[in-house]
C-alpha cells in the first residue's frame, strides 16, 4: 500500500536513524545546526552570535511571523553596524545572515544537533516546549534552556513520562546567556539532577565556540546571576516607591559609587520589567523567603504595560 511522506518527516527520520546506535549527546564539534526557540531579544542575540562566532546554521523558531521579521530586521541592523565598524566585511555579514533560517514550527527542528529555548519565564510554557522537543529532535541533540530562574531538574523532567527513562532528560541543560548576548561574554551553565557529564562538557565547549566565557552554577532558584542581581534591582525599586531617593539619585549613586555602567532602574528597563517581575516571583515562590517579595511598584508598572525600553516606557521614557 502506498503512502505519502513529507520532506519534514524524511529529515526527522533520517536524523533519528543516523544516531539510533547511540544516545550520547552531540559533541560541540559535531554541532552543525543550532535551533533557537524564541525570536525575541535574547533568542535573536543567541542565534546571531552562533551564526557569527561558531559559524553554524541556525533555525530560528517563533510562532509569530511578526516577531521573526522584527528579530531579523534587528539582526540586519547589528550586522550593518559591524560592517561599518570594520568588525566584519560585507561578504562575511552576508554569510552570517544566510545562516539564519526563520521558521514558525518546532517541527522544523528534526535535524538540529543543539537547541536553545529562549521564551518568556513561564514554567508551563517551557515544560510544554521541552516535551515536544524530546519527541521532535534527534536522540543525540542537546536540549538547552536560557531560563534565568526555573529549575533545570523540573524542565528536564518534562521530557519524559517515566522518571527511569533518562534518554532525553540527560541531554537537558541550561545555557543562561547574559543580556545583550552580542556584547556580554558571560553565560551560566546549570545542570539538573538528570543531566549527564557529557552534556555539560558539550555545552561548555559550544558556548566557548560562540566566544563566551561560561561559569558553572548549581540548580538553585535564580542560579548565580539573578540570585544576586534581581534582589538588587528590586530593592532599588522599593527605595523609589518609599521615597528614599528619586530615580536619578538612585541610578547616579550606583553608577558613580560602584562604577557600573547602568544604574539599577535603567538596567531594569533594559532587561524588561516583566522579566524582572517573573524572576522575582520564582525566587519568592521557590525559596519562601520574604526578602524576594516583588516590589509593589514593580507589579503596578507591569500591570500598566510599562515594561521598559521594549515598550517605550519604564522608569525612563524611550519614545
Catalytic residue list = 148, 176, 188, 226
Q: Is 29 exposed, middle or buried (0-12, 13-18, 19+ CB in 10 A)?
A: exposed
Write down the H helix ranges in 159-272. Answer: 197-209, 225-241, 247-258, 264-271
Q: For 304-313, which contacts have Cβ atoms below 8 Å and span 24 or more sequence positions?
A: 306/273, 307/272, 307/273, 307/274, 308/268, 308/269, 308/270, 308/271, 308/272, 308/273, 309/269, 309/270, 309/272, 310/41, 310/272
* 177 φ, ψ (degrees, to nearest 5): -80, 150
Angle at 106 between CA 102 and CA 110, to 5 degrees: 95
Give the burial string for 226-261 (b: 16+ CB within 10 Å, else e). Answer: bbebbbebbebbbbbeeeeeeeeebbeebeeeeeee
Instruction: Annotate 17-54 with DSSP letters as a single string.
Output: HHTTT--PPPPGGG--EEEEE--SHHHHHHHHHIIIII
Ramachandran angles phi, psi of 313, nearest 5°:
-150, 135
Asked whether 26 and 35 are in contact (CB, 8 A), the reply is no
Q: How many CA atoms lie within 13 A of 251 on its CB side?
A: 13
Whole-angstrom distance, CA of residue 79 vs CA of residue 170: 36
Q: Nearest Cα to 172, choosing from 185, 151, 54?
A: 151
The sign one gets for the Cα dihedral 255, 261, 265, 268 is: negative
Amino acid at each position: 500500500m502506498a503512502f505519502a511522506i513529507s520532506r519534514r518527516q524524511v529529515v526527522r527520520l533520517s536524523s533519528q536513524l543516523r544516531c539510533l546506535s547511540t544516545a550520547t549527546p552531540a559533541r560541540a564539534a559535531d554541532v552543525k545546526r543550532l535551533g533557537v526557540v524564541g525570536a525575541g531579544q535574547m533568542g535573536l542575540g543567541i542565534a546571531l552570535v552562533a551564526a557569527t562566532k561558531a559559524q553554524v546554521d541556525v533555525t530560528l523558531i517563533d510562532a509569530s511571523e511578526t516577531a521573526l521579521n522584527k528579530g531579523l530586521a534587528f539582526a540586519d541592523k547589528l550586522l550593518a553596524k559591524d560592517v561599518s565598524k570594520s568588525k566584519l566585511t560585507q561578504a562575511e555579514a552576508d554569510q552570517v545572515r544566510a545562516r539564519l533560517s526563520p521558521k514558525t514550527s518546532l517541527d522544523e527542528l528534526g535535524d538540529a544537533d543543539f537547541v536553545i529555548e529562549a521564551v518568556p519565564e513561564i514554567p508551563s510554557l517551557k515544560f510544554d516546549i521541552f516535551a515536544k522537543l524530546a519527541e521532535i529532535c534527534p536522540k543525540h541533540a542537546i536540549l538547552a534552556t536560557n531560563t534565568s530562574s526555573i529549575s533545570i531538574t523540573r524542565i528536564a523532567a518534562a521530557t519524559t513520562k517515566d522518571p527511569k527513562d533518562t534518554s532525553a532528560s540527560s541531554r537537558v541543560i541550561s545555557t543562561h546567556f547574559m543580556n545583550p548576548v552580542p556584547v556580554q561574554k558571560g553565560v551560566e551553565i546549570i545542570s539538573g539532577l538528570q543531566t549527564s557529564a557529557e552534556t555539560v562538557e558539550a555545552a561548555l565547549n559550544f558556548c566557548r565556540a560562540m566566544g563566551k566565557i561560561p561559569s558553572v552554577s548549581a540548580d538553585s532558584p535564580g542560579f548565580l546571576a539573578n540570585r544576586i542581581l534581581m534582589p538588587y534591582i528590586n530593592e532599588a525599586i522599593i527605595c523609589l516607591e518609599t521615597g528614599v531617593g528619586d530615580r536619578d539619585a538612585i541610578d547616579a549613586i550606583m553608577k558613580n559609587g560602584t562604577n557600573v555602567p547602568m544604574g539599577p532602574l535603567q538596567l531594569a528597563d533594559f532587561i524588561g520589567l516583566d522579566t524582572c517581575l517573573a524572576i522575582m516571583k520564582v525566587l519568592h515562590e521557590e525559596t519562601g523567603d520574604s526578602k524576594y517579595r516583588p516590589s509593589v511598584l514593580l507589579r503596578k508598572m507591569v500591570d500598566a504595560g510599562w515594561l521598559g525600553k521594549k515598550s517605550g516606557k519604564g522608569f525612563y521614557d524611550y519614545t
